[in-house]
Amino acid sequence: MTIISDDNNIKFNKKKNEDTTAEETSFDMSFETNIRPKTFNEYIGQSSLKSTLKISIEASKKRELPLDHILFYGPPGLGKTTLASVIANEMNADIKITSAPSLERPRDIIGLLMSLKAGDILFIDEIHRLNKISEEILYPAMEDFSLDMTTGKGQTLKSIRIPIPKFTLIGATTKAGALSGPLRDRFGIIHRLEFYTDEELKQVIQRTAKILEIQTDENGAMAIAKRSRGTPRIANRLVKRVRDYAIVKSDGIIDAKTADSALDILQIDKYGLDNTDRSLLNIIAKNYNGGPVGIETLATALGEDIKTIEDVYEPYLVQKGFLQRTPRGRKLTPFACKCFNLTDINFQQSLF
Ligand code: ADE
């Protein structure tokens, strides 16, 4: 499998048993590539999605036809790109990885589509940010594997159809609702990625720790898992921070006590919330009497942009039952008040 990416995270991977040059080895040994699962067996969590995908992949191989186009949506850090690479590997296909903001001009997307080979997978991250023209170029490419182009000028202007190889588009978005209807309808498989359970995150941490030769016991892995807000990307980041703490402050082994002390220093609480999460809840409590408060006002008060609040902070706060999105704005839940002891404000009347 070859991975070609326009970000610097992933460069490429080689098919098992292929000759490997020094340069390629250095890519393979990079941290991100190394800990990224490559097969469904290595990929932990998202079990119902994995079952669906395994069946579709097997059917596509048996029918000798490309896999249906796939749309993944859900909060950031849950492994959409990783899953696309796993699919490419399981299909024995090459994957090209890009994101919508880098497909600004029509020639960007046309060039990309024309560079594909039969069976290739094209991964477009943040696909909701594709502009209208690029989106319309994609429609016939997805539906009929062709590009509709025009040549000539004035009276000699004519449209032509150029066939392109049969490929699979995998789109990823944090905002399924922002995708246009016609684009969404062209995906055969649409699936939401769910937050991971603590048990699944524990397994992700144990797997990463093993690859990075970090010593951790089961309770240590679970202590990190509980504060990773359901997100493998965060779990993998925290395991490295806790490893550093363990090396400096103890014997380098991560047990529950070491993990808890390290995470306390990082100011990540027992719910996995960081300073920004807590500030967000506090602002609603103290400045707006528990809410509802509009997202624009909240963003200004917090000093964060609306997109970051909506995509990064809110999904987990909502999922954990701390925050409610209502038509009139964001509101704290009784559970949030209880957990954070937010009783000094006048919320009881206004909230419930
Ligand atoms: N690293 C990041 N996400 C992972 C996953 N879902 N399974 C295993 N390792 C991971």
d(CA 167, CA 295) in angstroms, rounded, equals 40
Could you tell me the mean pLDDT of each successive run of 10 residues in the chain, 352 residues long? 60 36 38 83 97 97 96 96 97 97 95 97 97 96 95 88 97 94 97 97 97 96 97 97 95 96 95 94 93 96 95 95 95 92 53 38
Confidence at residue 343, expressed as pLDDT on a 0 to 100 scale: 62
Which of 9, 34, 236, 238 to mutate to test ligand 1, by most ligand atoms within 8 A of the CB atom? 236
| Atom 2 in ligand 1: residue holding the nearest Cα | 232
Q: Which residues are the active-site residues?
A: 80-81, 125, 174, 233
Q: How far apart are CA 291 and CA 332, in angstroms?
A: 6
pLDDT computed for residue 5 by the predictor = 73
Tell me how far the alpha carbon of residue 43 lies from the centroid of ligand 1, in angstroms. Answer: 5
Q: Are 165 and 145 in contact (CB under 8 A)?
A: yes
Q: Residue of the nearest CA to atom 9 in ligand 1? A: 204
Terminal CA-to-CA distance of the chain, rounded, Å?
56
0.95 cut: is pTM over it?
no
User: Residues lining ligand 1, CB < 6 A?
Assistant: 35, 37, 42-45, 79, 82, 204, 207, 232, 236
pLDDT of residue 32: 61
Q: Which of 34, 41, 193, 204 to mutate to test the pocket of ligand 1 (most atoms within 8 A of CB)?
A: 204
Nearest Cα to Cα of residue 95 among 12, 159, 22, 7: 12
Contact 290, 337 (CB under 8 A): yes
Tell me how far the alpha carbon of residue 120 lies from the centroid of ligand 1, in angstroms. Answer: 23
Give the up-direction half-sphere exposure of residue 51: CA atoms within 13 A in the CB hemisphere.
2
Q: For residue 172, give the nearest of 57, 242, 263, 87 by alpha carbon.
A: 87
What does the alpha-carbon distance between residue 344 and residue 24 come to, in Å, rounded to a whole number?
Answer: 59
Q: How far is the CA of 45 from the centre of ligand 1 (A)?
A: 8
- Bridge partners, 159 (sequence order): 150
Distance 207 CA to ligand 1 centre (A): 8
Residue 257, pLDDT score: 97
Pocket perturbation via mutation, ligand 1, pick of 32, 82, 202, 229 by most ligand atoms within 8 A of CB: 82
Concatenated DSSP letters of 54-114: HHHHHHHHHHT-PPPPEEEESSTTSSHHHHHHHHHHHHT--EEEEEGGG--SHHHHHHHHH
- Alpha-carbon distance 86 to 53, whole Å? 10
Q: What number does the ligand 1 atom closest to the CA of 35 have?
A: 1
Q: What is the pLDDT of residue 6?
A: 66
pLDDT of residue 125: 97
